Amino acid sequence: MASDVSARPIDVPDARMPDAIIPGVPPAPTQVRAVAGDASVRLTWLDGAGATALTGDIVTGSDGQVRSVAPDEVAEIIGLVNEQAYAFTVAAVNSAGSGPASAPTVPVTPHAAPPHNRWLRTPSMPTARDMASAVRLRDGRVLAAGGESGAPSTTNLSVCEIYDPAASTWTTVEAIGVVGTGFGLTLLTDGRVLRTGGFSATVAALASTELFAPETGRWTQAVPMGTARFGHSAVLLADGRVLLAGGATSTSSGFAMLASAELYDPTTGQWSTTGSLAAPRSDHGAVRLLDGRVLVVGGDTGLAGLATAELYDPATGSWTGTGAMSGPRTNAQVGTTAIALLPSGDVLVAGGFGAQGVLRSAEVYRVATGTWQPTGDLIVARQDGFAQVALLDGRVLVAGGGDDFGPLPYAELYDELTGTWTRTNDLHLARGGPSAALLADGRVLLVGGIVPAPPFETATAEIFSPL
């Protein structure tokens, strides 16, 4: 968990030596990175090889201030002056003294938070959870279903609750018929919600499906899928059918990734098979393009991440390969690669986990050419179920998630016209694996997730107003 520190006197076992290193002190930290906020800078670093039994770290700023921080490899440096550039070095401390300082960071400049963007607290859900599925209903309310609770041990949930943004209230409705996580939740054109698959409390893949009627707040059992699966994509097609693709299923020896796909027709209530993916994958991203085709990208095979992408054509029921991303990309905790349709009709993916660990990179799929192009990097690398929501004004909001140091409170906005990200106001709570929904008025509801302090799963909710 990050330390919030301002300048204060420090007391280390031995003074720094200008021309020599005290024997036994830790080596210099590496990969020191600074990210500017409002009158603050977030520092992360890696303690050097052999740096054990540390008692703290010393952060020295280009403004001459020296700060002592806990040995967490992450610190929030507060009390800075906005619009003034800062660079920092970090030195590790143990019982023998203070080691050599790291190389300085690239200078960064804190800025005041945008005056009109706001994260405002709203009432909490009745049930604390992370990894819940959320969907906005046709009447503007938001349904949150399932997820996981960690108390007293990790437990799948069946509970369902509805948020009314007009009244800022939550109402408990009938639970889903299974205790499940990792299922699909799709709003149908007639206003009902389809729940597909998931995995049970015994971590067995489910073939069951259910339909939720918002008018009654009740679930009814529907025809099972042809294949039990979780971690699949579920996309509403232009003709009202629902396309399920990939995911994982249970086997006698564990789990197997799926390439199969199937279609649900709400007019008949029946499932039918359709063309299979070229590559089995789960935890992938999927989005319907403006021309009605569906783009599936990334995910994993159970052993490694994928960079490949495929296109589904509803007219032919077949998949074709298209350009691959620059590298594998998955987004843990929510079972999907973060993906957003841009105003141009192109597609943005960002962050996640890849060959280099937690990613800052972002890429745009150009529909006209079937290729991926790099775009501006995220300001903060993140995975672990961050929210990525396309706003009504064309920008894309990324919020929360986590990195190697825990859950994140940081949010940023992507502008397709400039290809850049700007940091916006922080969440009230750092949270990984939250649920998110775009409200009808353009605000964004963010709820639940994992926070840094026990009991970790949270019921709290907040709303972003992108004014």
CB neighbours of residue 173 within 10 Å: 19
What sign does the CA torsion over 146, 242, 263, 271 have?
Answer: positive
- Domain for residue 103, yes or no? no
448 and 363 within one domain: yes
What is the C-alpha separation between 420 and 123, in angstroms, rounded?
Answer: 33
Same domain, 119 and 89: no
- CA–CA distance, 450 with 151 (Å, rounded to integer): 12
Confidence (pLDDT) at 277: 98
Task: Tell me, yes or no, whether 307 lies in a domain.
Answer: no
Q: In terms of domains, do 460 and 386 share one?
A: yes
The residue among 132, 232, 253, 238 whose CA lies nearest residue 188 is 238
Is residue 435 in some structural domain? yes
Count CA within 13 A, CB hemisphere, residue 81: 9
Q: How many structural domains compose the chain?
A: 2
Q: What is the pLDDT of residue 336?
A: 52
Whether omega for the bond prior to residue 104 falls within 30 degrees of 0, making it cis, is no
The C-alpha atoms of residue 388 and residue 16 are separated, in whole angstroms, by 45
Domain extent, residue 73, equals 3-98
Residue 81: CB atoms within 10 A of its CB come to 11
**CATH number of the domain where residue 16 is located:** 2.60.40.10
| Sign of the four-CA dihedral 319, 324, 330, 336 | negative
- 13 occurs within a structural domain: yes
122 within a domain of the structure (yes/no): yes
Q: What is the pLDDT along the chain (467 residues), one digit of tens a residue?
A: 455 554 433 333 343 444 445 668 899 999 999 999 899 999 999 987 766 789 999 999 999 999 999 988 999 999 999 999 999 999 999 988 999 999 999 999 999 988 878 899 999 999 999 888 899 999 999 999 988 887 655 677 899 999 999 999 999 999 998 877 788 899 999 999 999 998 887 788 999 999 999 999 999 999 999 999 998 999 999 999 999 999 999 988 888 999 999 999 999 999 999 999 999 999 899 999 999 999 999 988 877 789 999 999 999 999 999 999 999 988 654 445 579 999 999 999 999 888 888 999 999 999 999 999 999 999 999 987 899 999 999 999 999 999 988 899 999 999 999 999 999 999 999 999 899 999 999 999 999 999 988 888 999 999 999 87
122 shares a domain with 72: no
For residues 345 and 425, state if they share a domain: yes
Q: What is the structure's pLDDT at 337? A: 53
Do 404 and 351 have their domain in common? Answer: yes
Same domain, 391 and 450: yes
- CATH code at position 405: 2.120.10.80
How far apart are the C-alpha atoms of 39 and 22, rounded to whole Å?
A: 35
Q: Considering Cα of 397, then 411, then 450, then 32, what sign does the dihedral take?
A: positive
Instruction: Check whether residue 77 and residue 119 sit in a common domain.
Output: no
Residue indicated by tokens 């957003």? 340
User: Which pLDDT value is given to residue 442?
Assistant: 96
Cα within 13 Å of Cα(55), Cβ side: 13
- Burial of residue 357 (CB within 10 Å: 0-12, 13-18, 19+) is exposed
459: left (phi over 0), alpha (psi -120 to 50) or beta: alpha
Residues 365 and 434 in one domain: yes
Q: How many residues does the chain have?
A: 467
In this structure, what token pair is assigned to residue 374? 């790099």
In a domain, 245, yes or no: no
Same domain, 408 and 442: yes
Q: Is residue 416 part of a domain?
A: yes
Q: Which of 34, 33, 32, 39 is nearest to 84 (CA)?
A: 39
State whether 339 and 433 are in the same domain.
yes
The pLDDT value given to residue 199: 85
The first and second tokens of residue 220, run together, are 């009814």
Residues 68 and 119 in one domain: no
Q: Which of 94, 96, 156 is nearest to 131 (CA)?
A: 156
User: Which residues make beta-bridge pairs with 465?
Assistant: 118
- Determine, yes or no, domain membership for 119: yes
